[in-house]
Chain A
Amino acid sequence: MNIDTENRESTNTARRNFLAGIAGMAGVSIASGVTLFSFAEAKEAGEAVTSKVRWGMLIDTNKCEDGCTKCVSACNKENGIGTTGRAETDPQWIRKVQLRDPKTGNQTSLPMMCQHCAEPPCVDVCPTGASFKRADGIVLVDKHSCIGCRYCMMACPYKARSFVHEALEDQKSHAPRGKGTVESCTLCVHRIDKGGIPACVEACADEAGGAMLFGDLNDPKSEIAKRVAKYASRQIRADLGLNPGVRYQGI
């Protein structure tokens, strides 16, 4: 199959190159009074999403406490993710990861979820086109066409996707989920389309250290764009060239 790379709106390496050029300024603390999110131009309800927007997240690991799972529980509550009592097969959209530098013993805690790559490998491998990237950069599963083959789960370097093994009941009306399909963080797409922010970001700001910042990376006036421009941030496994929309500070 011939893919016209020129016309692929997902390809945006210019920003990556630009960011790679910025000198490292690790460990810079954020000025007080910095808001945790910014609102992009609100989309009309009947309007389609466009690639003018690139939703992203910046996570400051210095503010992310060990053992705090407020973001995880907020996600579970928002999207109706329950437990079956069998943790191995329970779906998981966001999880806390503990990093330890063996040389210094320094420990870092961070939330890990779908990184909403600009070049998502899960989309490349999907045989039915169910795994797709929305124009505004959100990577989703169209469960109407997902056949549950789980190739995307194999392809994802972040282990971000889960398979629903058991029949579900009483799903949330804004977050349809069902047996036999793969699912992952949607960046709370139902909230974003109404001009809101993801549940994890909201919970982190209200109940925890406010380590998560959500916004439009393409809008130079947005808080997130200003912060990634000013301070050093990293994409996890940047070497893979996937250009994730989720960035981390302090790792």
Chain B
Amino acid sequence: MIKMRLGVFSILGLLFLSLAVMTSSAQADGVPTPQIPKALQKTEKGHAELMRRNHMDLMLHKRDKTVHEGIRGKQYSLKACVSCHAVPGPDKQPVSIKSPKHFCRACHDYAAVSVDCFQCHSSKPPSSAGLVNLLEGFLKR
């Protein structure tokens, strides 16, 4: 008898749980997606699609080129990513990786993939007049 009750309860519990999950995550298309902040500047066509799938490989390749061969172009450099994808915080300054609003975290938190880059690399662009203007433009959007 006790066993049966436990079984009924557990089935009920599972039902409730699945219902709760369904209602909380229900969105227009039924699948929750990460909220990705827009970049500060426009870039070439197909950049987003290319980077979405390949950013880790492109950056890994670029990383070795930079460290060992001194090739420091803007393309695929982490510094360029961080500069264009800066997200302003409440103080209108770019947020660091500590903030869940950070561009990289928006996706990486969602996918539960940890980012080690910023243990050493700066997650914020160096402050400049151009950056201040771009961040203001971002906030006005």
**Complex contacts, A173 vs chain B, CB 8 Å:** 79, 82, 121-122, 124-126
Tell me the chain B residues, 66-113 only, with Cβ under 8 Å from chain A. 67-73, 79, 82, 96
**Complex contacts, A176 vs chain B, CB 8 Å:** 120-122
Q: Say how far A141's CB is from chain B's closest CB, in angstroms.
A: 9
Which residue on B lies nearest to A135, using beta carbons?
Answer: B69
Residue from the list B67, B69, B122 in contact with A170, Cβ < 8 A: B122
**Complex contacts, B65 vs chain A, CB 8 Å:** 48
Q: Is the interface of B mostly helix, strand, loop or mixed?
A: loop
Residue count of chain B within 8 Å CB distance of chain A:
19
Q: Say how far B18's CB is from chain A's closest CB, in angstroms.
A: 41
A167 within 8 A of B: yes
**Contact B122 A144, beta carbon cutoff 8 Å:** no
**Contact A144 B63, beta carbon cutoff 8 Å:** yes
Residue from the list B63, B72, B120, B125 in contact with A171, Cβ < 8 A: B120
**Complex contacts, A135 vs chain B, CB 8 Å:** 69
Bound-state Cα–Cα, A173 to B119, Å: 12
**Complex contacts, B63 vs chain A, CB 8 Å:** 144
**Complex contacts, A48 vs chain B, CB 8 Å:** 65, 69-71
**Contact A177 B120, beta carbon cutoff 8 Å:** yes
**Complex contacts, B124 vs chain A, CB 8 Å:** 173
Chain B proximity mask over A176-190: 1 for CB below 8 Å, otherwise 0: 111101000000011
**Complex contacts, B121 vs chain A, CB 8 Å:** 171, 173, 176
Which residue on B lies nearest to A170, using beta carbons?
Answer: B122
Chain B proximity mask over A129-159: 1 for CB below 8 Å, otherwise 0: 0001011100010111000000000000000
Q: Say how far A45's CB is from chain B's closest CB, in angstroms.
A: 5
Residue from the list A142, A178, A181, A193 in contact with B72, Cβ < 8 A: A193
**Complex contacts, A41 vs chain B, CB 8 Å:** none
**Contact A142 B122, beta carbon cutoff 8 Å:** no
Residue count of chain A within 8 Å CB distance of chain B:
31
Residue from the list A45, A142, A178, A179 in contact with B67, Cβ < 8 A: A142
**Contact A47 B71, beta carbon cutoff 8 Å:** yes
**Complex contacts, B126 vs chain A, CB 8 Å:** 172-173
Q: Say how far B85's CB is from chain A's closest CB, in angstroms.
A: 14
**Complex contacts, A20 vs chain B, CB 8 Å:** none
**Complex contacts, A144 vs chain B, CB 8 Å:** 63, 67
**Contact B72 A45, beta carbon cutoff 8 Å:** yes
Residue from the list B68, B70, B120 in contact with A193, Cβ < 8 A: B70
**Contact B120 A178, beta carbon cutoff 8 Å:** yes
**Complex contacts, A102 vs chain B, CB 8 Å:** none
Residue from the list A45, A136, A177 in contact with B73, Cβ < 8 A: A45
Measured CB to CB, the residues of A under 8 A from B are 43, 45-49, 132, 134-136, 140, 142-144, 167-168, 170-174, 176-179, 181, 189-190, 192-194
Measured CB to CB, the residues of B under 8 A from A are 63, 65, 67-73, 79, 82, 96, 119-122, 124-126
- Supply 25 A–B pairs (Cβ within 8 Å), ascending by A: A45-B71, A45-B73, A46-B73, A48-B69, A49-B69, A132-B68, A134-B70, A143-B120, A167-B119, A168-B120, A170-B96, A171-B120, A171-B122, A173-B79, A173-B121, A173-B122, A173-B125, A176-B121, A176-B122, A178-B119, A179-B119, A189-B70, A190-B72, A193-B70, A193-B72
Known: A171-B120, A189-B70, A193-B72. 10 other contacts (CB 8 A): A43-B70, A132-B68, A134-B69, A134-B70, A168-B120, A170-B96, A170-B122, A171-B121, A173-B79, A174-B79
